[in-house]
């Protein structure tokens, strides 16, 4: 016998923030992330806080998302050494879709890229019991 559950699906938010690295102004950016938060505000505040904790100045939200996945792709170290600077951040239904799309968009112009961050903030079922 199958049991019918009483409950609802709750939205979950995520966000990624980036800022200039105070320790290395010309180096990689400082990044802060939030996953599976109950509101957009909670996700963005946490991501900004984490960015500052990582040494970021002028941290800004690069992307927020809900009930989906996100991936961030940056040029590889070799590509950065040759002047590549384009990064890409994408939201999609699945982790594999987000990762593939972020890498593809970053590699425009032939630069080599790698996915440096990916996560999902998927809705959660909460029982009324």
Q: What is the mean pLDDT of the chain?
A: 90
- For residue range 2-12, list pLDDT tens digits in order: 555 688 999 99
77 SS3 class:
helix
Is residue 115 a contact partner of residue 90, using CB atoms and an 8 Å limit? no
Q: In what order do the strands lie in the sheet with 113-121?
A: 88-92, 68-75, 113-121
**pTM score of the predicted model:** 0.86
39 SS3 class:
coil
How open is the CA angle 52-124-43, to the nearest 5 degrees?
15
- For residue range 34-65, list pLDDT tens digits in order: 999 999 999 999 999 999 999 999 999 999 99
104 SS3 class:
helix
Is residue 65 a contact partner of residue 121, using CB atoms and an 8 Å limit? yes
* Alpha carbons 29 and 50: distance in angstroms, whole number: 13
């Amino acid at each position: 016998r199958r049991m019918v559950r009483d409950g609802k699906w709750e939205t979950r938010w995520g966000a990624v923030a980036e800022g200039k690295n105070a320790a290395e102004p010309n180096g990689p950016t400082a990044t802060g992330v939030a996953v599976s938060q109950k509101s957009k505000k909670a996700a963005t505040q946490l991501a900004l806080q984490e960015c500052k904790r990582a040494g970021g100045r002028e941290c800004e939200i690069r992307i927020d998302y809900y009930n989906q996945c996100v991936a961030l792709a940056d040029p590889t170290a070799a590509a950065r050494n040759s002047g590549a600077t384009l990064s890409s951040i994408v939201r999609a239904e699945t982790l594999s879709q987000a990762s593939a799309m972020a890498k593809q968009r970053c590699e425009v112009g032939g630069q080599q890229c790698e996915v440096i961050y990916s996560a999902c903030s998927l809705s959660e079922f909460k029982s009324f019991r």
